[in-house]
Each structure stands twice: as structure tokens, then as C-alpha cells.
Amino acid sequence: MVKGTLAFVLLVVLALAATEASRRLGRRGLEAPGLQSFLTVLLGALLGHAGLGLFTENILVTIGPVVLLGLAWVGLIVGLQFDLRVLGSLQPWHRRVGFLLPLGVGLGVAGVAFALGARGPTLVLLGSVAMVTTPRVVDHLSRTGPPTDRSAMRLVKLVAALSSVPALLTWGVGITLVSEPHFQMAVLPGQAATLILAAGLAVILGYATMVLLRGETESVHILALLVGVMALIAGAAELTGAEPMLMAALTGALIANRSPNPHRILRAAHGLEVPMLTAILLLVGAWWHPGGFSLLALGVLVLVRAALLLAAGGVLASEARRRTAPVLVRWLGLGLAPHGPLALAFLVAATRDGSLPASVAVGVFASLVVNHVVGARWHRNVLFPRRSGTAEGHP
């Protein structure tokens, strides 16, 4: 137990050091878009089953709770950002495209994958990952200089910010439906009962958290309570067979919309985001077993998704021209190509229970890297053509 945890924490330190090193390299002009997260996964793979075999099965089982907690944390942050007041301030067509565009891309990718024979967790993973896109590349580059087209930047940020909601819902509901239920109820199928129970628990815990955090100002106490609540969610999810990210996101959304101080809570939650993310990414790499490479995953997530994004970008541009300001840049859809940490978290969650073929995991990972590089190049060459001096943070 101790040995495993020690090995793991030392590796997290190593991964964080690598993150910092790549950030500093980036500062010197060696741009490495999204390198850190992918490097962390590769580091895990190098030391895990697929590489040196330092992570034994026993160790991986021992640190299983860390993964559950990490996944819940990712879900919590997504939920905390789902503020209905902000959504309400958006124009109706912005809300529509923000939710529907990622959903359409994801369903399109899933449809092609289904036609090519993907089923079960693989299908759910491909569809959900395809929906996710990140605003972090734009956020980062916008700090280095103004964009060539503000209208395009706003649209990319909008869709990227909202894409996590349909993606997480699709993942949470989809994976529950294709998994074996942990219990049966007389009146409902097991999967439906799991979803209802998960939602009920998330609401109870969300309200409880809100009451517990009321008037709390010190971030250490906020963090302690959040860790406690996320541990409960992770435990309840493991117990009931529900998806921890979905439960945590529901709890987070409730807090974001009903708590008087959601920003303070979000700030505190962000404090643990990088270590949690690093930990789970390291583990997903360590879990991989050597076992082929899925061309299907790569094909649908890179080629099909890119085609759908380009089409969606065209629709977005024409809507923008009709309603607000025309989009001047070409191939707007490619700006939505980079995935965020949520996509990696889906991969972690799918790999965790061993139901995902190793080849698919490798294929999805390769697709994430390709999409990130393609998207980041588009941003750098088209939207922010001035050379930036630094690399991005986590993709």
C-alpha cells in the first residue's frame, strides 16, 4: 500500500516537474501545444504495463480511490462552471449552437463508428470525446496578443465553453446504459434506476454542500469540505455503478446556481485541479496494456470529426453573418479541434474498469494528440498569427 502510494506520488512530482519544464521550454520559444497532459500520460505508459512495468496490478488497485476522486473532481469543475445566470445572458442562438453543435458532431462521429462496428463503451467514448473541445488554447493565446477576428474568437470560446455539458451528459448517461447494473429494481431497468439514484444522490449532496459552505470564506475549509463531498460522490458512484463525473457535475451545477459564493468555491476547486488531473493522467497511461492500435478510433475521431467540425464551422459562420458580425477567418471549425482535460478524463474513466480494448485507448489518445496539434496550429496561424512566446497549459 505504502510502496504503491509512494511510487505514485513520486511520479506525480516527476510529472509536475516535466510540466513545469515544458512550460519553461515553451517560454523560450520551443512551442509545445498541450504537451504537458500528453507527456504525463506517456510517462505513465512508460512506467506502467506497456513499458517498464513499475506499476504492478496491486499498486493500481490500491490507488484506485485516487482515480475515482480525481474523476469526481474533474466533473465538479465542469459543474461549477455551469452557471445559469451566465447562460441566461447569452443570446438564444448562441445557446443553441453552443449545445447543439458539439452534440451534432458527437452523434455524427458515433453514428459512423457504429456503422463501422463500434459498440458498448467504445462507442460511448468515441461519441463523447468527439463532442469535447477546449477554450484553453484561445484563452492562452489571447493573452499574448489580439486575434485577427474577434467574432471568430468569441464563437470558438462559446462553443468550447458549452461543449462540456452535452459531452458529460452523453458520457454519463451512455456509459451507465451500456454497463452492467449493480442492482435491480422491480419497476425499472437497473440502468435507469442507477441514473435516477445517481441524480438523487447528487442533488442531496449538492444541497448539503451548499448549506455546509454557506458563509465559509477560508479556502482551506472550502477545499476540505469539497474533498469530503467528492469522496462521498466517488464512493456512492462506485457503490451504485453510477458515473462519478456526472454525479459530481450535477452537484457542482447545483452549487454554482444556488450558492451565494460560487466563484470562491470554483477558485478553491481549481487549486486541486492540476494535481488531480496529473494523477489520473499518469494512471491512465500506467493502465494501458500493450495491444495494438485502433485505426477506427483514429479515423472517426480525426477525419470524421474534422469533416463534421468544418461543416459545423460553416454553419456557425453563416449564422454569425446573418445575426451579428461576419466571420473573416477560414475553416472556423478547425478552431474547435483541440480537446480539453474532460476528453482525457473520459479516457481515464473508460480505461479504469477494463472494459475498453487497449487498442481503442491508444487510438483515442493518438487522436487527441493529433486534434490538439491541428487545432493549436490553426489558432496560431489563423486566429493569432503573431508568434506567441509560450506554450499552452493543460489542453
Partner 1 sequence: MRWFFVLIVAAVVGLLRAVLGPEGVDATASALLAFGIVMIGGELSGDMAQRFRLPRVTGYLVLGMLLGPSLAGLVTNGDLATLTVFEELALGLIALTAGGELQLESLARNWRAVLGISGAHVVGIVLLSFGIFWALLGQGLVLGGLPPEAVMAAALLLGVIAVATSPATTIAIITETGARGELVDTVLGVTILKDLAILLLFTWASGLASALVKGGELDARALGALVGEMALSLGAGLLLGILLGAYLTTVGLHPEITVLAVVLVSMELAHTLHLEHLLITMAAGFAARNLFSRAATGFLHALERSSPPIYVIFFALVGAGLDLGVFRTTWIGVAVVVVVRFGLTWGVTAAASTAAGASLPVRRWAWMGFVAQAGLSLGLASRIAREFPGFGSSLAAVIVGAVVVNQLVGPVLWRHALVASGEGRAQEVR
16 binding partner 1? (CB under 8 A)? yes
What's the longest Cα–Cα distance across the chain?
63
Establish if 104 lies at the interface with partner 1 (CB under 8 A).
Answer: no
CA neighbor of 312 nearest in space, from 92, 160, 138: 160
Considering beta carbons, is residue 2 or 187 the nearer one to partner 1? 2
Instruction: For 303-366, give the secondary structure using H, E and C.
Output: HHHHHHHHHHHHHHHHHHHHHCCCCCCCCHHHHHCCCCHHHHHHHHHHHHCCCCCHHHHHHHHH
Q: For residue 296, what are the contacts with CB-CB under 8 A and spacing of at least 6?
A: 113, 116, 117, 118, 360, 363
Is 118 a residue that touches partner 1 (CB under 8 A)? no
| Whole-number Cα distances in Å, 165 to 92, 104, 264, 273, 386 | 17, 13, 21, 18, 32
Task: Identify residues 271-330 at the interface with partner 1 (CB under 8 A).
Answer: 275
Please give the grid coordinates belonging to residue 338: 483541440
Distance from C-alpha of 138 to C-alpha of 281, rounded to nearest angstrom:
23
Residue with Cβ nearer partner 1 (35 or 327): 35
Q: Which residues contact 178 (CB under 8 A, 6 or more apart)?
A: 120, 121, 123, 124
- Measured from the CB atom, is 221 or 330 closer to partner 1? 221
Of 105-113, 118-126, 220-228, 259-267, which segment contacts partner 1 by CB under 8 A?
Answer: 220-228
Residues 6 or more apart whose CB falls under 8 angstroms from that of 40 comprise 15, 18, 19, 278, 281, 282, 285
Of 28-36, 117-125, 204-212, 286-294, the segment contacting partner 1 by CB under 8 A is 204-212
- 238 near partner 1, judged by CB under 8 A: yes
Q: Which residue from 10, 84, 196, 295 is in contact with partner 1, where contact means CB under 8 A?
A: 10
Q: Which is nearer to partner 1, 244 or 262 (CB)?
A: 244
One of 114, 207, 293, 331 touching partner 1 (CB under 8 A): 207
Q: Which residues of 33-69 are buried (b: 16+ CB within 10 A; e: fewer)?
A: bbbbbbbbbbbbbebbbbbeeebeeebbebbeebbbb
Q: Could you give the string, one character per residue 143-182, with x where binding to partner 1 holds by CB under 8 A and - elsewhere?
A: ---------------------------------------x
Report 56-85 residues binding partner 1 (CB under 8 A). 64-65, 68-69
What is the DSSP-derived secondary structure letter of residue 83? Answer: -
Contacting range for partner 1; rule: CB under 8 A; set: 29-37, 81-89, 110-118, 237-245: 237-245
Output the smallest distance, CB 227 to partner 1, in A.
6
Contact between 204 and partner 1 by CB under 8 A: the answer reads yes
> If binding is defined by CB under 8 A, does position 348 make contact with partner 1?
no
185 binds partner 1 (CB under 8 A): no
46 binding partner 1? (CB under 8 A): no
Grid coordinates in use for 38?
500528453
In the complex, which residues of this chain contact partner 1 (CB under 8 A)?
1-3, 5-6, 9-10, 12-13, 16-17, 20, 64-65, 68-69, 182-183, 201, 204-205, 207-208, 211-212, 214, 220-221, 223-225, 227-236, 238-240, 275
